[in-house]
């Protein structure tokens, strides 16, 4: 039997329910990955898988990649290939069911929730003409233990995203409590000044995105560019030559307007365009 999207499986069983005692539900005790799927494949799977297993290790959640991949393959096999031409895969790993209290249970089995959803739809103009973003009032707390992880506690981002409903803005930019630029609500950010690519230091806050890593490790070297990871301020942001945001679902969007009490305007630059082209080539080769 083929299942329509969305199709969600808990520990390999479609439509199974998560226990109200699951620590992912009660405490946000877990991590997740959101992956773009193309023709039943996840082009950046190696990067997603590495981050997922590394994050589980940092939270002392014992899990094997083989088990996750087996569950994912089982779910894919139950869905029409036509529905998998363009889709989004979300993988959630929690510590599993436990009793009351923060103490880690002595005997607990992780919960693996895998969902496959219809592809996100974004205007083509986001890529070709760029997007408008706003600076959010919500600030990110600093925590060197959790920084970089895509853990389940996303309340800061939810509150930031609640600050606007105007569809003029495609993203909201987030600073930490020390006024360092960190990221956007669902993406990472790069700025370009004098042909130098800069991206925020995420050792105290933020999510170290898969697309961010691909850009740093693979795309920029191929273009003969380098990336400096450093603390960035409001001034750095608003005096940039180019700005773009990125994630593994939509890729790379040039930023053409930043609202921070007033509007600041930017033009899509050649470096951003070259990275977009190289990314498209990279994904087509992986597909």
Angle between helices 45-58 and 65-76 (to 10 degrees): 130
At residue 287 the predicted structure's pLDDT band, cuts being 50, 70 and 90, is low
- % of the chain beyond a pLDDT of 90: 94
Interval 187-226: pLDDT, tens:
999 999 999 999 999 999 999 999 999 999 999 999 999 9
Q: Which phi and psi angles does 22 have, rounded to 5°?
A: -65, 130
User: Which ranges constitute the DSSP H helices of the chain?
Assistant: 23-27, 45-58, 65-76, 125-128, 155-161, 210-214, 220-222, 234-238, 270-286
60 half-sphere exposure, CB direction, 13 A CA radius: 7
Dump pLDDT digits (tens) for 138-148.
Answer: 999 999 999 99
pLDDT in tens, 62-110: 999 999 999 999 999 999 999 999 999 999 999 999 888 999 988 899 9
Burial 230-258 (b: 16+ CB within 10 A, else e): ebbeeebbeebebbbbbbbbbbbbbbbbb
Q: Is the peptide bond before 205 cis (omega within 30 degrees of 0)?
A: no
Whether residue 17 is predicted with pLDDT greater than 70 in this model: the reply is yes
Q: Distance (Å, rounded) from C-alpha 76 to C-alpha 90?
A: 13
d(CA 265, CA 20): 48
pLDDT score of 53: 98
Phi, psi of 53 (to 5 degrees): -70, -40
How far from chain centre, in Å, is Cα 169?
18
Looking at residue 107, its pLDDT comes to: 86
Range scoring the smallest mean pLDDT among 40-44, 89-93, 105-109, 177-181:
105-109
125-286 topology per CATH: D-amino Acid Aminotransferase; Chain A, domain 2 (3.20.10)
By percentage, how much of the chain surpasses pLDDT 70?
A: 99
Of 60, 71, 69, whose CA–CA distance to 30 is shortest?
Answer: 60
**Residue 286, pLDDT score:** 66
Choices 3.40.50.1820, 3.30.470.10, 3.40.50.880, 3.30.70.1350: CATH for 7-118: 3.30.470.10
User: What does pLDDT average to over the chain?
Assistant: 96
Residue 2 pLDDT class (50, 70, 90 cuts)? confident
In this prediction, residue 284 carries a pLDDT of: 84
Domain ranges of the chain: 7-118, 125-286
* Predicted model pTM: 0.96
Given this model, what pLDDT does residue 106 score? 86
d(CA 90, CA 114): 6
Tell me what the mean pLDDT of segment 179-186 comes to.
98
């Amino acid at each position: 039997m083929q299942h329509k999207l969305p199709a969600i499986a808990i520990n390999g069983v479609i439509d199974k329910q998560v226990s109200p005692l699951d620590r992912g539900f009660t405490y946000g005790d877990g991590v997740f990955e959101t992956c773009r799927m193309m023709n039943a494949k996840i082009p950046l799977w190696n990067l997603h898988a590495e981050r997922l297993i590394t994050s589980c290790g940092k939270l002392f959640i014992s899990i094997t990649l083989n088990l996750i991949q087996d569950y994912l393959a089982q779910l894919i096999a139950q869905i029409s290939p036509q529905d998998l031409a363009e889709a989004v895969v979300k993988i959630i790993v929690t510590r599993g069911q436990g009793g009351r209290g923060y103490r880690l249970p002595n005997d607990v089995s992780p919960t693996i929730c895998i969902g496959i959803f219809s592809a996100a739809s974004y205007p083509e103009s986001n890529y070709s003409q760029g997007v408008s973003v706003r600076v959010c009032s919500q600030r990110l707390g600093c925590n060197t233990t959790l920084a970089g992880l895509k853990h389940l506690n996303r309340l800061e981002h939810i509150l930031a995203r609640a600050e606007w409903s105007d569809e003029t803005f495609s993203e909201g930019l987030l600073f930490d409590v020390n006024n360092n630029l960190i990221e956007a609500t669902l993406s990472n950010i790069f700025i370009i000044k004098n042909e130098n690519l800069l991206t925020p230091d995420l050792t105290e806050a933020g999510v170290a995105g898969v697309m961010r890593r691909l850009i740093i490790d693979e795309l920029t070297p191929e273009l003969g560019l380098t990336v400096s990871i450093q603390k960035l301020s409001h001034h750095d942001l608003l005096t940039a030559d180019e700005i773009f945001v990125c994630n593994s679902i939509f890729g790379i969007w040039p930023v053409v307007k930043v609202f921070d009490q007033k509007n600041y305007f930017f033009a899509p630059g050649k470096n951003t365009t070259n990275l977009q082209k190289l990314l498209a080539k990279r994904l087509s080769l992986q597909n």
